[in-house]
Amino acid sequence: MSRQIVIAANWKMHKTSEQARAYIQQLSKQVELAPNELVFLAVPATSLEAAASAAAGTSVVVGAQNMHDAEKGAFTGEISANMLKAAGAQFVVLGHSERRHVFGEDDAFINRKLHRAIDSGIRPIVCIGETLEQRKSGATERTLKQQIEQSLKGITAEQLTTVIVAYEPVWAIGTGETATPEMAQEAHAFIRKTLAELWNQDAANKVVIQYGGSAKPANAAGLMAQADIDGLLIGGAALEADGLLQIINNTHPIVSES
């Protein structure tokens, strides 16, 4: 079936408000998006308002890289869903491999964030993926199933269809290594099969599943040609607008020549 295509750039800890505005101005001038295609930018919290303002009236969707699960409280340095929404965030990345493996976030915490995001009207991108050790030991599918079961626990089939799942093979994040299109498709097909088993096939067929593991212009087209890959979550290769535009053009030629 035809699913929405979502190409998302995760800036991580890069770009000031001024740099965010300049990026979006360059991007929005060149991109003409088809109705079924979206470009997401996951920006630092300090740049959210500037980015959202710059993207207003364009096809670019601005969101956040993380959030806390509490509505408010004594959580120094944290940011709530309501704060993100007030700043203009339309989506939020949850459970990114760096949040899981650098900052120690577990599936239960990510699940609480997921429910908070849904309740607050912010679309979640939930990241899952195996480490190199897990892949070598044959635990890829077991790991993915556990992360799906626990990170997405307690949501309805209707809510599931609003969630974007991003498959991030941890061994390919920032290493220059990338899963082959066939490896990525195998993982994506397993994710969709698991979603169907846990919810239902109709809902699973509607879920956007992105690939996020050192995606770049050279491999984007091969990845996006796979049946169950509905988008990309891109890090370093999308830090400049030209890089993101090249990836978009290599996968779905929607960038104007003017």
pLDDT digits (tens, 9 = 90+) for 193-251: 999 999 999 999 999 999 998 889 999 999 999 999 999 999 999 999 999 999 998 88
Residue 168 annotated among the catalytic residues of the structure: yes
Q: Name all domains of the chain by residue range, CATH numbers in brackets.
A: 5-251 (3.20.20.70)
Q: With cut-offs at 50, 70 and 90, classify the pLDDT of residue 59.
A: confident
Do residues 165 and 212 make contact, with C-beta atoms less than 8 angstroms apart? no
| Candidate list 96, 98, 130, 188, residue with the active-site label | 96
Do residues 27 and 55 make contact, with C-beta atoms less than 8 angstroms apart? no
Considering the chain, what is the average pLDDT of its residues? 93
Q: Residue 256 has what pLDDT?
A: 47
| Candidate list 37, 98, 130, 168, residue with the active-site label | 168
Residue 158 annotated among the catalytic residues of the structure: no
Res 253 pLDDT > 80:
no
